Amino acid sequence: MIDAATELGKTIGLAAACRALGVPRSSLYRAAQPPAESGSPAPRPTPARALSQAEKAQVRAMLNSERFQDQAPREVYATLLDEGRHYCHWRTMYRILAEHDEVHERRNQRRPSSR
């Protein structure tokens, strides 16, 4: 049906050919595209301003230090800015903690009873 619509489209136009044969134009255009070579897209390049592994380790150690262990990354970010130090943005701090599954509450919590 796609081939017939393509042939008929050369004479009367693709829109009219698809309408006459009851073929969606999107199917016609999709069939004309080359097949995808692989199932996954190409990996994204690392940005030039990304933190190195050593810098990430330094930020993680600072976030897990005794001084900041009970503070959220936004609070740590604000405290460090007040002191005139800047390691990275607070969102990057969250990403670094998420890489190591440390974003959640790390203290022991009482489980709710099932009454």
Mean predicted lDDT score pLDDT of the chain: 88
What is the per-residue pLDDT across 11-47, written as a single tens digit (0 to 9) for each?
A: 898 889 888 888 898 888 888 887 766 667 788 999 9
The total of other beta-carbon atoms located within 10 Å of residue 81's CB is: 11
pLDDT score of 79 more than 80: yes
Give the Å distances, CA to CA, from 67 to 22, 53, 56, 58, 70: 69, 22, 18, 14, 8
- Domain extents in the chain: 2-32, 53-99
